[in-house]
Amino acid sequence: MALGLLAPVAQSADVEYGRYLSSECTTCHGASKADSTIPNIHGLGESHIAEVIKAYRTKALPNPVMQTIAARLGDDEIAALAAYFATAKRPK
C-alpha cells in the first residue's frame, strides 16, 4: 500500500485521491524554499511529474529517499499524485 496508508481503490488521474496521498510529499516539497535542493512540485505539468516519479521508481534518477518513496507507488497512485500536484497551489 502506498505511503503506508490504508487507501481506497485508485482511479486513474483522480485529483482527490492524489490529494489524499500527498501528505508525505508535502512534508518536504511543501516546505521547500527558493534556495532549497528540494524542488517545488506544485503546478508542474502532470506528465512531467509522473515521468519523474517513475524514473525514481526504476532508479533511473539518483535519490535514495525518492527511490524508496516511489518504489511503494503503483501507476494509479503516481497518476493521481501527478494530477493533484499539477493543479495544486503551493502551501503558504
In a domain, 26, yes or no: yes
Residue from 27, 28, 24, 54 nearest 39 by CA: 28
Distance, in Å, from the CA atom of 62 to the CA atom of 45, rounded to the nearest integer, reads 21
In a domain, 3, yes or no: no
Question: What is the total count of domains within the chain?
Answer: 1
In a domain, 5, yes or no: no
Residue from 44, 43, 61, 39 nearest 52 by CA: 61
In a domain, 81, yes or no: yes
Q: Is residue 41 within 8 Å of 85, Cβ to Cβ?
A: yes
In a domain, 54, yes or no: yes
pLDDT 10s digit of each residue in the chain, 92 long?
444 444 444 444 799 999 999 999 999 998 767 788 899 999 999 999 999 999 999 999 999 999 999 999 999 999 999 999 999 987 77
